[in-house]
Amino acid sequence: MKVLLAVLACLALAACGTTPSAPPANERAQVISSTPHDTGAFTEGLELDGTTLYEGTGLEGQSDVRVVDLATGQVTKKAGLPDPMFGEGITVVGDKLWQLTYKDGVAIQRDKNTLAEIKRANYEGEGWGLCHDGSRLVMSNGTDQLTFRDPDTFAQVGTVTVRAKGDPVAMINELECTPDGIYANVWQTDTIIRIDPESGNVTASVDLANLLTPEERGGADVLNGIAAVPGTDEFLVTGKNWPKVFRVKFVTTQ
């Protein structure tokens, strides 16, 4: 479904004289280590809360939110979404966790310890990525727009348009909020961008190509999943059906 949407979005953007491609990279990913990842996980969201790794997965009939052992990649707890819901981005807010759905227009709030559902909130349009900046939720919908939301009610409280040197950057997917800005996967690319949440300007573009070997890439889907490692300048990154989660540092391209 997203492949068709990508084609339609590209056509629409082309008609307006713009392009959905990611901006040129000025940083690259330096790999520190890697751990196993469930190749059956169609990764939509990744978040490290202390030492607990949460992952949200997608596809109808296969979507869930799960707790993953950092060292082994084993799933230690999970809660599925009812069919035909398609899970998307996740984020932790205090002792709770929000989970988006793709085209169902529903965000689910859960207890982060048990993963039990607490309540639901409705929203217009699609849900793709989600993160929490300490005071607001930040949500993507696959366009060049980010929406700010109340972390308790999920009500919309603002928007910002993402631009790189004045040009719109569409297909913004999984999000990670950090003190340095919002990091975002650009769907169907090997690029993560950093966004100034106030202006929407792209302040860095990171090349993550070649993390997988040709053999590993043969069974994998696109890059998607980024989680900041607390207390460091490092990140965990993975992709849909990838065999590994990589611990990386973003360094300036020479």
At residue 169 the predicted structure's pLDDT band, cuts being 50, 70 and 90, is very high
Distance of alpha carbon 88 from alpha carbon 172, whole angstroms: 13
Q: Tens digits of per-residue pLDDT, 204-240?
A: 999 999 899 999 988 899 999 999 999 999 999 999 9
- The residues spanned by each domain of the chain are 2-252
At residue 3 the predicted structure's pLDDT band, cuts being 50, 70 and 90, is very low
Residue 207 CB contacts under 8 Å (≥ 6 apart), including other chains? 25, 27, 28, 29, 190, 191, 253
Distance of alpha carbon 84 from alpha carbon 167, whole angstroms: 36
According to DSSP, the β-strands at 223-228 and 191-195 are unpaired
Task: Classify domain 2-252 at the CATH superfamily level.
Answer: TolB, C-terminal domain (2.120.10.30)
According to DSSP, the β-strands at 27-36 and 43-49 are unpaired
In sequence order, what DSSP letters do the residues of 204-216 get, joined into one string? Answer: EEEE-TTSS-HHH
Residue 191's alpha-carbon distances to 89, 109, 121, 146, in angstroms, are 18, 29, 31, 18
**What integer pLDDT is reported at residue 18 of this predicted model?**
40
Distance of alpha carbon 185 from alpha carbon 204, whole angstroms: 12
